[in-house]
Copies of this chain bind each other. A is one copy, B any other.
Amino acid sequence: MAEKVTLVGGGLAGSLMSIYLAKRGYEVYIYERRADMRSGKYEGGRSINLALSTRGLRGLAKVGLDQDVLDISIPMTGRMMHSVDGALKYQPYGKEGQAIYSVSRGQLNVKLLQLADQYPNIHMFFNCKCVATNLETCETTYINEHGETIVDKADVVLGTDGAFSALRDAMQRTSRFNFSQTYENYGYKELEIVPNANGDFQLDKNCLHIWPRKSFMMIALPNPGGNFTCTLFMPFDGNPGIDQLKTAEEITAFFQLHFPDAMAMMPGLVDDYLNNPTGVLATMRCYPWVRGNNALMGDSAHAVVPFYGQGMNCSFEDCIVLDECIEELGGDWNSVLDAYQKLRKPNADAIANLALQNFVEMRDLVGSDEFLYKKKIEHTLSEKYPDLFVSQYERVTFSTRDYAEALAYGELNDRVLEAIIQNKWEEKLDDRAFVETLFADHQS
């Protein structure tokens, strides 16, 4: 009989991993806390839009879904910064032809579930809340919408149940399990820029729009319907704090002052602000990710803040790496899971740090001319010497090499760029030998 793998959670990582496992012939059981998203009753999870990039697309390509998903996505080739006076500045993310893709979390999840449903060896159960786990026996217990208790016994249990994972919770109670949850002093509100009267986009649809305001910011991602999903990130205890804007007057006065151009396109602003919940931002780290035949994947192992747009991309990469470990090490689950956690942990730590750094960049630095000038030189180097210089953003977003490597190279790049600007070497950048020496000289 085929080995049975149970996935606690049928979100993005769980549904993709189920297909990888099904293709290898395992019996796969998925228990999802929420209702079946295909029924149209999709409850928003952490955010409405995601930015799909190279790593995520690679994960989808392994099951032939990449083009299907690109078809429901909108490419964003760079950032568009909005100053208070309405002036716009554009900064490309990568080279000509490179983009990240705005996609609806719900629609992407539905695509994955639809594909999973075509495998007779994938068994999906919705409205099943995990209420107990036994790390010794690989038994997991659920309560469904009828109040019935389901006990599942598997050969392997994968925790794809997100930042508040029940499986990780059980691991936290085992000895020598390192764990941290760290919240930012920032909350977020999802808001909306509507289409114009003709149903068209009111801003350039091929950009990720940013309103950097130093201690807070708003961003907007395009949706196929002509609207943008906006997200305001603001401190809890700022002045004003995100939860301290309580009346229509306070909200409109605040937006009028800081985001006048956007506000004109946000007719539902006050209602959205008052009715939408305030989201929170946390980084969660743990290790080990494996106890016996139980392993954590995606946000359950490494919830990150959303500022590098890599949460889903990193989770899909977890799935790829676990699948590769299965391929290489066959049915020896001890070796498979251990290899998986050792390969992924340094990269999860790296993207967690990168995401925290990028928050400062997005809300503060992108608003300054010095920063944009540095980015311009970076872009020049990247276009001129693609073999020598790859920006940190490109390494993270348009590559499938390790996040840990991207973090390390980013520091080298920064030293080189500082040297160029300080010494006014911009006109020497046509000289390849000079640039080569520059990089060699700035190795740590």
Contact = CB atoms under 8 A, between A and B. Distances in A.
Contacts of A280: 175-176
A180 B177 contact: no
18 contacts: A172-B181, A175-B183, A175-B280, A176-B183, A176-B236, A176-B280, A177-B181, A177-B183, A178-B180, A178-B181, A178-B182, A178-B183, A179-B179, A179-B180, A179-B181, A180-B180, A180-B181, A180-B182
Contacts of A236: 176
A178 B283 CA distance: 10
A172 B169 CA distance: 11
Interface residues of A, number: 12
Max count, chain B CB within 10 A of own CB: residue among A175, A176, A183, A280: A176
Nearest to A187: B176
A75 to B, nearest CB: 35
A177 B181 CA distance: 8
A130 to B, nearest CB: 15
Max count, chain B CB within 10 A of own CB: residue among A175, A236, A280: A175
Contacts of A181: 172, 177-180
Closest 8 CB pairs of A and B: A180-B180, A176-B183, A179-B181, A178-B182, A175-B280, A178-B183, A176-B280, A178-B181
Nearest to A184: B176
Instruction: Count the copies.
Output: 2
Dominant secondary structure at the A interface: strand
Interface string A168-208: 00001001111111110000000000000000000000000
A183 B236 CA distance: 32
Given A175-B183, A177-B183, A180-B180, 13 more contacts: A172-B181, A175-B280, A176-B183, A176-B236, A176-B280, A177-B181, A178-B181, A178-B182, A178-B183, A179-B179, A179-B180, A179-B181, A180-B181
Interface string A234-263: 001000000000000000000000000000
A175 B281 CA distance: 10
A182 B178 CA distance: 5
Nearest to A164: B173
A180 B236 CA distance: 22
Contacts of A182: 178, 180
Nearest to A175: B280
Nearest to A181: B179
Interface string A142-177: 000000000000000000000000000000100111
A181 B173 CA distance: 11
A243 to B, nearest CB: 11
A182 B179 CA distance: 7
A177 B284 CA distance: 12
A174 to B, nearest CB: 11
Nearest to A183: B176
A181 B182 CA distance: 12
A45 to B, nearest CB: 15
A177 B185 CA distance: 11
Interface in A343-375: none
A181 B236 CA distance: 26
